Structure 1
Amino acid sequence: MAKMRKVLAVTMAAAMTMSMLAGCGDKKTDGTEEQTVQSTETESGDVSTETEETETSEAVTEEENSQVTDGDVLVDLNFDDNDTDGCATYFNGGQAELLNENGELCLDVTSTGKLDYANQIFYDGFALNQDCVYELSFDVHSTIERALQYRIQINGGDYHAYVMDEAMVGTDTQHVSTQFTMSEESDPAPRLCMNLGHFEGKGDDSTPHKIYFDNIKLTVVDASKAQQVESIPEPKIVNVNQLGYKKNAQKLATITNESAKTFDVVDVATGKSVKTGELGDWHYDSGADLRYTIVDFSDVNAEGTYKITVDTGEESYEFQVKDGIYDDIYKASVLMLYDQRCGTALDSAAAGDFAHEACHTGQAIVYGSDVAKDVTGGWHDAGDYGRYVVPGAKAVQDLLLTYEDSAEAAKDDTIGIPESGNGVPDILDEARYELDWMLKMQDENSGGVYHKVTGEVFPETVLAVDETAQMILSPISTAATGDFAAVMAKASVIYRDIDKDFADTCLAAAQKAWKYLEEHEEDPGFTNVGDIVTGSYSDGRMTDEYLWAAAELYIATGDESYNDYVKKTVKTSVKYGLGWADVGYYAIYDYCMNVKDCEAEKAILKEGADDLVKNYGKCGFGSATGGEYVWGSNMAVANDGMLLLMASKVFGDDSYVDYAADQLNYLLGRNPVSYCYVTGYGSQTPENPHHRPSEVLGKAMPGMLIGGANGNLQDPYAKAVLADMAPEKCYVDNAQSYSCNEVTIYWNSPLVYLLAAMK
């Protein structure tokens, strides 16, 4: 077991972070979520929740303070400064405004909604130690007689309460106080909540009113038995790809102990060194805040199991050298998409413990109307059960490119999905499941495409079959329509010799969507409407979506009007990327692979790939991100690997391949936190993803690429345990940390592409 670095629950003086999840994590970062209110786009194209911060939480180490003590005041809010003192609000059908009124915290309630937590005031930035006794107290009064619920809860998963009670309040100020013992494992990032929604039969809360709080305190009463908070495994000094390496592959390890002078590559079976050498040429990685040196052991190519040791006593995890090293993990990464299928029963032979009956089989209601529409099918986007066209299009494109660019994947009909053995490559069967759903998302009359189908809010921590909320079709967006047009045109080419009728349907849908795009070029980006707070996947600039659609339609039809659009657009400012928001490189790559007159497009692709090569030299662990680690950083790493492989194919330059391979090596363990970021694989693998089926079943669904390091600390748990760490080390394996530890279909899809290419 890895040695654990202890992070202790002590007073984090007024350390606040108001994280309202938008969930990889846009919503979370795109797929992430939880208590989502507003989201903003990050540089990677993912979306993080907009946060309000006062002071930054500090993780306190064992050396700084070994224990909490009696009398410690963990929360002390008196609002005398005419501020809200770091408190924030979450709404789920209610309406209210949080303000300071005459030195008290005031919630001005317009509507209490239907749920007891429809209006909620919350506060983060403290910790609870197991077996410690606390007192929670506050003063409260209201302009009407009504009920409230106060609670301190886990800030993730099922959000269960550590302590909870109700109180009736009225115009007279009353002092509420309760003592409790923290009986569960220590939690470095709980949440204090005041639920102020609707309480049936407990006062008349139907009229607008105000409720006031003052002197909110959480005090340590008895710390004599308090346990410490354990978190974050101590990383290895020697980091490698934990799965291993093909016999003839480049093999690099990163070492971060400058006291070490020599290394050995040890055959685990014999205990003998097969390669030894001296260390040197130490460099600095600013993203990880580490000094490092790199060991090249590419000449170790005999099949076997190895580890790398250094003379100071540290060693790497064991790894294998053999061909076919990625066969199993490749299948698992594709099966993850199968396990995310919606609207159909999952076969236990393929899904194992994650098999279930058909979910979300009812019709969805078009927002703002009483029109019902069948939009069953598709993939659950992430750790929640929403289905979104924009990220779904990226995921489909990655699979279609995997089919085109990897010969083995193009022939593989044995992955184990129900369609295996039908004569169609499984990668295309899986992509088609999402394409069939996307076709249902197109409006028959206008050709526009509905942005998403979700409930109004993110579901509780339940299995997919237990989310029974009414599904709502959010309005049509040009982002969804543009991405739809692009992948449908692409699909019409890919499936032409497999299922001509389906290919024709895809092309007709793409052309109809293009007509909608032509008529709506001035439309603004998508924003959530009404009471819907699920992931928005907002994108305010659609030039790249239009470019991608035009390029794929030109390749599919040969119609020069589309080509004219491409040639005109590449001369303008376009967002080039392979994410869900920035899709320009998809257009450029397919154009370069299919059109002879593409010198301008080749120059764009080469500039992007060469920039990644420059970034590669800044990182001691192989990443080409340039030191930027944001929400969904592992998607960025995987996308970078894709772009480098694309450049290799377009320019016939194999030097890009080794750089691409190191993006995969980073994801599979050669990183400064020593995690293989794919669940179920490697010596140290994420076990607690922010993923509802995994949380309910108590085990991680295998084959999922986790979001990874996020230096922006965009959830309370990350803020509590990762403060002051270097960005590349800001990862924690905890379901509460949605900004580090969620999963999405479009993080897995570039992983699928990379694994297929490296098999």
Structure 2
Amino acid sequence: MKKIYLLQFFLPLFCLAQHSDFIHVDQFGYRVNNTKVAVISNPQIGFNSALNYTPNNSLEVRDANTNTVIFTGLISSWNNGGVHSQSGDNGWWFDFSSVTNPGSYYIFDPSTSESSAIFEINDAVYDDILKVTTKMFYYNRANIEKTTPYVSSEYVDGISFTQDEFARDVYDQTNTLTTKDMRGGWFDAGDNNKYVTFAETAVHDLLWAYTINPNMFGDDFNIPESGNGIPDIIDEIKWETDWLLKMINADGSVHIKVGNRNYGENVNTPPSLNNDIRYYAPVCTSSAIANASMLSHASRVFKEFPPLSNYAQTLEEKAELCWQWVLPFLNNNTLQEHCDDGSVVAGDADRSSADQRKMALTAAIYLYDITGNSSYNQYIINNINDTEVINNNQWENYAIREIDALLHYTTLNNADNSTVNLILNSAQTASSNNYNNYFQFNNLDLYRGYCNDWTYHWGSNSSRASMGNLNLIFKHYNINTTASSSFGLRAKEILHYFHGVNPLDIVYLSSMQDYGAENSLKEIYHFWFADGSQWDNEDTTAYGPAPGYLSGGCNQNYTANTNLTPPYGQPLQKSYLDFNTSNPDNSWEISEPAIYYQAAYIRLLAGIARLNENDILSNNDFELSTIDLKLSPNPSKTFVTINGINYNNISVTIRGINGQTVLNIPSLNKSETIDISKLQDGFYVVSIALEGKTKNLKLIKN
């Protein structure tokens, strides 16, 4: 069913259920001490360009329960009123970071009576969001009934795909002797197939989500395993690893996927109504490498839990078995690239030889971690350049799997020192040079969560979440410590984009009104919640989709139906439509969820919930990014000069890591030096005010 966004803009402003389409906030809310900036938009290009908005110079933060004005502040123009190319809007930022008392609030424009969505301020604001979005994996489990109390009554369903117990070889379909038990695992996306290679990034992201912030993952997420003394996210990952073990043959080879022969099989809703025979695809080197990688990483994490110690040992043994099977292919350069011929639809799960070598390097690192076997360490040393992260210094959001493993290797006992230094120096260089603006907060995006133009493709929400995770990884491993706060702020603003700080004013999660979102997705492309079913649309059918699914996101390459505008022919951040129709609209290119999108988002959410520090950077940070200003010398003990200034009478403020001003110079000439001899050793932010704008530079006093 289609829902054209343009219709919503003409709802009456006095309707209490409809907040302004021009004042964008995180519709769930903000942690107490984090930066809080609302974006006010004025559409110029795209489907909503006929709608214009000019806000008052100052806006109010009001208590949602009493309507009391809590805070009044000025708005600041973004990019001197320029149009943001990715959204087609111009706009303003409204910084209300000083509002820190827990409570419910909204932003109000006293001149127009426009108001934002209601949002919360408290340090537990994302706790329930994490639970409901993690629950997506339970909904996407194969071969298990969905029943109360784990789902509400509208999503109760019987055991699905019992026929997976008797899956057959797709190349020998009538031969019952090929029958194998392939039950378990997660449906990959909106369809009901199960892929080994596609699961790799999802499993790694979920394992790292737990490792980075275990306190966020309790044993109370309301799944059948809740209360067993194991964090529910570990139980959920185990559901997938149980299936991955079944995909392994006795010799360590691994079948690449399980699914249907054609697009007309097993398409009924709900899932329990499907009973067509299922088939497994051939073994592949890529699936064996993926299994070695996932199972060894899972073994490392599962060993933390005594009840899982034997299971973790099994995972280790099977990971090594898969590695031993694939190792001759790696050594002889005979990796298989075309073993998935589409006999099992739909996704092509093959990987190129180059990608498989990246995967193998990752697998070797986790295998070395859990076994200590020097042969894995030697493989890492010999093949460190198999990843473009090292070979071409491509530390980017598309290489999270390798980046995780490489930086983890630098923490291992007996890791090769020269290899460790190579990795850390490469990471530091990437951060310092910041090619393609991968790192740190910047003001290049009106909506504050900058991602490069080329990331707005099919599944863009995954690459967006990974951009946030990339910055959190660099923060976690203390890469470029002077940018630590900026790494964190970049990630937080990307999260806010998912939650409503975007030009569509939409939360990119399904059916989240009960969790505080006033404008979440009404539809997603998913076989269970299919077009025309009772789960089709949250507003117009009996139920709508289950809550917490992250959709694929904006896709600038959408051309299936050029009459649909949006998503066709729009600025990048408006190339989205809340719909789930099939041919010829192909809504799966926009609104389909996937386990790897979901896992990247969950990891981002958990990582941000771990950050308790104040954000040093303000809403005008990096506004002078086009001017090449530098501090010299840096680090320094006594004096520092600002190089690159062609003006006199600039204003300089130096703040400590807690945001407190330690030195203020109202007027400084370009030739003057700054005496920092009395400052304590440590990290500082030097804010340079010039022509009404500010640039922040990092300074180390030692």
* TM-score, normalised with respect to structure 2: 0.71
Q: 1:728 to 1:721 in 2, by over 3 A?
A: closer
Contact conserved, 1:483 with 1:548, CA < 8 A, in 2? no
Give the whole-Å Cα distance in 1 for the aligned partners of 2:450 and 2:339. 32
- For 2:576, the equivalent position in structure 1 comes to 731
Of residues 541, 560, 573, the one that matches 2:374 is 560
Of residues 463, 474, 498, the one that matches 1:636 is 463
Q: 1:408 to 1:608 in 2, by over 3 A?
A: farther
- For 1:473, the equivalent position in structure 2 comes to 280
The Cα of 1:583 is off from its aligned counterpart by 3.1
Give the whole-Å Cα distance in 1 for the aligned partners of 2:19 and 2:220. 39
Of residues 651, 655, 660, the one that matches 2:491 is 660
Report the residue type matching 2:460 in the other structure.
Answer: S
1:490 aligns with 2:275: no
Q: 1:731 to 1:604 in 2, by over 3 A?
A: farther
The Cα of 1:573 is off from its aligned counterpart by 4.5
The Cα of 1:529 is off from its aligned counterpart by 2.2
Q: 1:294 to 1:603 in 2, by over 3 A?
A: farther
Of residues 604, 615, 622, the one that matches 2:448 is 622
Of residues 294, 310, 314, the one that matches 2:93 is 294
- Show CA shifts across 1:443-473 (max 9, x none): 222x121111001123435222222222111
1:270 aligns with 2:66: yes
Name the structure, 1 or 2, with higher relative contact order (CA <8 Å, separation 6+). Answer: 1
- For 1:463, the equivalent position in structure 2 comes to 270
Contact conserved, 2:441 with 2:486, CA < 8 A, in 1? no
- For 1:535, the equivalent position in structure 2 comes to 347
- For 1:523, the equivalent position in structure 2 comes to 335
Q: 1:526 to 1:421 in 2, by over 3 A?
A: farther
Give the whole-Å Cα distance in 1 for the aligned partners of 2:271 and 2:395. 32
1:692 aligns with 2:523: no
Contact conserved, 2:458 with 2:552, CA < 8 A, in 1? yes
The Cα of 1:718 is off from its aligned counterpart by 7.9
In structure 2, runs of 5+ residues without a counterpart are 11-17, 43-52, 536-543, 582-586, 610-702
Report the residue type matching 1:663 in the other structure.
Answer: I
Q: 1:286 to 1:527 in 2, by over 3 A?
A: farther
- Show CA shifts across 1:486-544 (max 9, x none): 11111221122422221111111111111222122322424642643311134323221
- Show CA shifts across 1:619-655 (max 9, x none): 1223232233111111111112222111111016343
Contact conserved, 2:259 with 2:345, CA < 8 A, in 1? no
The Cα of 1:236 is off from its aligned counterpart by 1.9
The Cα of 1:685 is off from its aligned counterpart by 0.7
- For 1:259, the equivalent position in structure 2 comes to 54
- For 2:201, the equivalent position in structure 1 comes to 394
- Show CA shifts across 1:274-319 (max 9, x none): 2222223322432112223222211111122222233454332221
1:713 aligns with 2:544: no
Report the secondary structure of 1:266's partner residue: strand
Report the secondary structure of 1:711's partner residue: coil
Identical pairs, percent:
26
Q: 1:528 to 1:407 in 2, by over 3 A?
A: closer
Q: 1:472 to 1:718 in 2, by over 3 A?
A: farther
Give the whole-Å Cα distance in 2 for the aligned partners of 1:607 and 1:436. 40
Contact conserved, 1:612 with 1:640, CA < 8 A, in 2? yes
Of residues 163, 167, 170, the one that matches 1:364 is 167
Give the whole-Å Cα distance in 1 for the aligned partners of 2:132 and 2:396. 22
Contact conserved, 1:619 with 1:626, CA < 8 A, in 2? no
1:677 aligns with 2:489: no
Report the secondary structure of 1:613's partner residue: coil
Report the residue type matching 1:518 in the other structure.
Answer: L
Contact conserved, 1:711 with 1:727, CA < 8 A, in 2? yes
The Cα of 1:367 is off from its aligned counterpart by 2.8
- For 1:701, the equivalent position in structure 2 comes to 546
In structure 1, runs of 5+ residues without a counterpart are 8-60, 63-232
Contact conserved, 1:574 with 1:584, CA < 8 A, in 2? no
Report the secondary structure of 2:410's partner residue: helix
- For 1:285, the equivalent position in structure 2 comes to 84
The Cα of 1:6 is off from its aligned counterpart by 5.5
- For 1:649, the equivalent position in structure 2 comes to 476
Q: 1:579 to 1:626 in 2, by over 3 A?
A: closer
Report the secondary structure of 2:135's partner residue: helix
Report the residue type matching 2:183 in the other structure.
Answer: T
The Cα of 1:593 is off from its aligned counterpart by 4.1
Report the secondary structure of 1:265's partner residue: strand
Give the whole-Å Cα distance in 1 for the aligned partners of 2:139 and 2:90. 41
Give the whole-Å Cα distance in 1 for the aligned partners of 2:591 and 2:429. 32
1:745 aligns with 2:548: no
The Cα of 1:252 is off from its aligned counterpart by 1.5
Report the secondary structure of 1:594's partner residue: coil
The structure with the largest strand share of the pair is: 1
The Cα of 1:320 is off from its aligned counterpart by 1.4
Report the residue type matching 1:430 in the other structure.
Answer: E
Contact conserved, 1:5 with 1:234, CA < 8 A, in 2? no
Give the whole-Å Cα distance in 2 for the aligned partners of 1:577 and 1:335. 31
Q: What pairs with 1:70-81 in structure 2 (closer than 5 Å)?
A: none
- For 1:319, the equivalent position in structure 2 comes to 119
Of residues 231, 239, 247, the one that matches 1:441 is 247
- For 2:21, the equivalent position in structure 1 comes to 236
Q: 1:339 to 1:558 in 2, by over 3 A?
A: same
Contact conserved, 1:282 with 1:292, CA < 8 A, in 2? yes
Contact conserved, 1:413 with 1:420, CA < 8 A, in 2? yes
The Cα of 1:717 is off from its aligned counterpart by 7.4
Contact conserved, 1:490 with 1:552, CA < 8 A, in 2? yes
Q: 1:251 to 1:465 in 2, by over 3 A?
A: same
Contact conserved, 2:244 with 2:291, CA < 8 A, in 1? yes
